[in-house]
Structure 1
Amino acid sequence: MQPVSGPGRPPLPLEHGGPFGSRRTTGTPQVALTFDDGPDPAQTPQALALLRQYGVKATFCLVGINVKAFPGLVRQIARDGHTFCNHSWRHDIRLGARPKAAIRADLLRTNEAIRAAVPGARVSYYRQPGGAWTAPVVAVAREIGMTSLHWTVDPQDWRRPSAGSIASTVNSSTTSGAIILLHDAGGDRRSTIAALRSILPNLGRRFQLGALPPGIDPPRMHGHEWPLKVGQT
């Protein structure tokens, strides 16, 4: 059963199988598609259009400098009902090795950029560039209220294999509860976009596809906070 998380807390708990407790699975039978490095003005709209066509919600791991450059695309991601994930300000692979104060500043700066584009947006996940996880970066993300998000299936589309290769890896390797790593930016992602035309219908027939849970906000009425419902912690 999906954990129910309260205000300011990560929506998913640490997972023993992931690097330093980061999540490798959704924790449910649901399969999650995730897209890294965006937004990108050419490729993100194509990914969004295909997700819309197949009625699939996903999770977008956004790089701060791209968020600042293309806030309209961030708003489109939100309008389409997808979940936000922080992917650092400049795709800093070495961020996890930096002092905790520097990690915190980077993650907060990226979250603030996302919320400048979409006021009140929940940024519930953090994905470390390159999968270069460390205990400090997982700890800081959690202190800020974000679940550290690793993956189960990686077709290494950043290496620009063919669309057929990407689709074959994802379609054959995905099992119940998988988190799939794809990219909609950071380079030429035409093969990834083309692969989605196979991935989305194939996985859609076999699994429930959905965005990772964004967590919950405190109940409010007339500006006053009300107690959480039973079962929320």
Structure 2
Amino acid sequence: MQRNDNHSGRYAASSRPVQCAIGLLLWVVVAIPSLHAAQLQSTPAREAPDATVLVMGDSLSAGYGMPAAQGWVALLDERLEKQDPGWEVVNASISGETTAGGRARIVGALARHRPRVVVVALGANDGLRGLPTAQAAANLAYMIGAAHGAGAKVLLVGMQMPPNLGAAYADAFAGNYSTLASRFDVALLPFLLEPIALDRAAFQADNLHPVAAAQPRLLDHVWTALEPLL
């Protein structure tokens, strides 16, 4: 079963009055067991996972502009549930995330989920903001090292920048991924959007985020690099 990891401090809930908190707690204690029992009777339980794929990405992996169930990460979970139900997918992607944000969250995510495979799909927002490529490379290197330190395999998913940012920057940005993959000996998917990059109909009105209909193509693309790690 796909799970969304929403432990970022930026999304922490604001405080509530004590009375509301007590009322909510009482509702949880009383209602949740009954709801859970009813759910168990109506839907078959999925086996407890033997291994986890942790996806650390941005809006391209979070399913921006569509129900989360339509994104490529959710579709990955559906595919694994059919082919190998021993695997679980945890989507720790956050819209707007940068490599610095991923670096700040990776250790906690690894401790919570103990994944066997980590998909690192970050960098697009660094590039769109024109952040230094060396800084992004250092952040990605930290994430890869942390995943390896936790005993997980890594799939590094790259991105490319539009030419209006300058050829030198675009080349350095894309080169980060191949350099890191070689240095750390990790699997590499050079460009997440490669199958749809030239298809305007595959993108939402912002021309940045893929539409729901394009998500299966993204999954098939990611699958070519991910499957050997499973």
The TM-score range, normalised by the shorter chain, is 0.3 to 0.5
TM-score normalised by structure 1 residue count: 0.38
Of the two, which has the highest radius of gyration? 2
Higher relative contact order (CA 8 A, sep 6+): 1
